A and B are shown apart, each in its own frame.
Chain A
Amino acid sequence: MPRSTGIKRFAGMLMAGLFATLATSAQSDSVVTPGSKAAGMDTCVAPTAEMRRYHMEYLKHDRVETVRQGVRGLKNSLADCVDCHAAKDGNGGYLSINADGQFCDRCHNYMAVTLACFQCHRKTPADQDASSAKTSTGNQGHAFGLLLDRGESAALTAEERAQFQALVREE
């Protein structure tokens, strides 16, 4: 008997509202930091809409594999996020990815989500050597960034909406 409690329904509405806000008007520009490696690539490790919603799940899953089972070089890696999304500081160095107004901060600040990753993890790309340069392999044409690019449809597709609603209903 599917019966959602008041609090669940409220949470669902709140989430839906947040996403609607994110997906429309105010900030329809890409938040990919100009001058970062990401700005020069045409796709992230997954389509933008997916990254926007699930990046933390992916990171959490792969961190367990890495720390506990020693599996390295997985698709989802925080170090890779930093490598691609950190902006140059103009003096040959990089700005911290979680600094005010930078890639991580921009969304998390907006969503009032406290980000704890960088209490422990390195906030700037490691000194790059040739071997760490990765080329983009995807060709799905999804733009980088957590928010929508100009011209990309703001509405969720029917499939996405169904997925999202199922997610909200589940828990």
Chain B
Amino acid sequence: MSNKDDRPDMKRREFIGKTVLAAGAASVAPGVLLTVAKAGGESRGVSSDVRYGLLIDTNKCADDCTACVDACNRENGIDLVERPKGQSDDDWNAQRPQWIRKVQLKDKQTGEITNLPMMCQHCEFPPCVDVCPTGASFKRADGIVMVDRHTCIGCRYCMMACPYKARSFIHQNVAQQLVNAPRGKGCVESCNLCVHRIDAGDMTTACQEACEKDGHQAIVFGDLKDPDSKLAKLLKTKSSRQIRADLELNTGVRYTNV
């Protein structure tokens, strides 16, 4: 079968996925632990009825504002990562973990500057998942792409495969972590759309919240599959773009006015 574009054969994937699911369902081995929820504690699994994503209006993103980046660093304990003694500015800036960064585009003819807050684009067909040799890089049923650090071996294939430079590697031991953001030497990480908030039923990300608080409202988080969500409505009425749409990864993060 000839395949003209780069896109993987989805039929085959679907088939394999289903087969694996069926095999899994049929073989609940003796001694398998069942999930027990704490009394009164919530227990809610992810579902593929939703797909989370972001819409970023680059027109509203202000030049000198770093509210989203700062909020992300605080929310995910990235600001707790210390700079190794004696490391140069260049090395530190190149190596420190970064889940969201601001990319500036400049039109060479007109000089117009566009701000793109960039983070993991939560691809529907994520190359980072394709290349991961251990299965640590994975996509949740609700579309969030993340790293399971328990299985990540730190090979960094995913960093090479990601077209958006979205992933960071932790080079040093980390002394302090937040409960919601475990982090340690030797693993790769990237934006997880504040997954701890989503699992707790909160429908905002730290970046969206911060941007809104600063009065810019450039970031909208929501469920792409829910036609009534603010996100879906905006996508329907405004013309938006995927960055590098030519790769056909069907990103969950979209941009307007690029």
Contact across chains for A120 and B149 when beta carbons are under 8 A apart: yes
B148 touches which of A61, A68, A121, A122 (Cβ 8 Å): A68
Q: Which residues of A contact B33 (CB under 8 A)?
A: 57-58, 61
Contact across chains for B41 and A74 when beta carbons are under 8 A apart: yes
Tell me the B46-70 residues at the A interface (CB within 8 Å).
46
With an 8 A cutoff between CB atoms, is A137 at the interface? yes
Tell me the B112-160 residues at the A interface (CB within 8 Å).
138, 140-142, 146, 148-150
Assign chain B's interface to a size class.
35 or more
Stretch of B99-107, B175-183, B248-256 at the chain-chain interface: B175-183
**Shortest Cβ gap from B198 to chain A (Å):** 8
Contact across chains for B38 and A75 when beta carbons are under 8 A apart: yes
B37 touches which of A64, A75, A120, A134 (Cβ 8 Å): A75
Query: CA–CA, A120 to B178, complex, Å?
Result: 10
A137 touches which of B36, B39, B140, B176 (Cβ 8 Å): B39
With an 8 A cutoff between CB atoms, is A15 at the interface? no
Contact across chains for A73 and B46 when beta carbons are under 8 A apart: no
Contact across chains for A74 and B37 when beta carbons are under 8 A apart: yes
Q: Which residues of A contact B178 (CB under 8 A)?
A: 122, 126
Interface centre among A57, A58, A64 (most CB of B within 10 A): A64
Query: CA–CA, A64 to B151, complex, Å?
Result: 10
Of chain A, the residue at the smallest CB distance from B47 is A70
- 1/0 per residue, CB under 8 A from B, across A73-95: the answer is 11110010000000000000000
Q: A70-B45, A73-B43, A74-B38 are in contact. Are A119 and B173 (CB under 8 A)?
A: yes
B→A interface (CB under 8 Å): 33, 35-39, 41-46, 138, 140-142, 146, 148-150, 173-174, 176-179, 182-185, 187, 195-196, 198-200
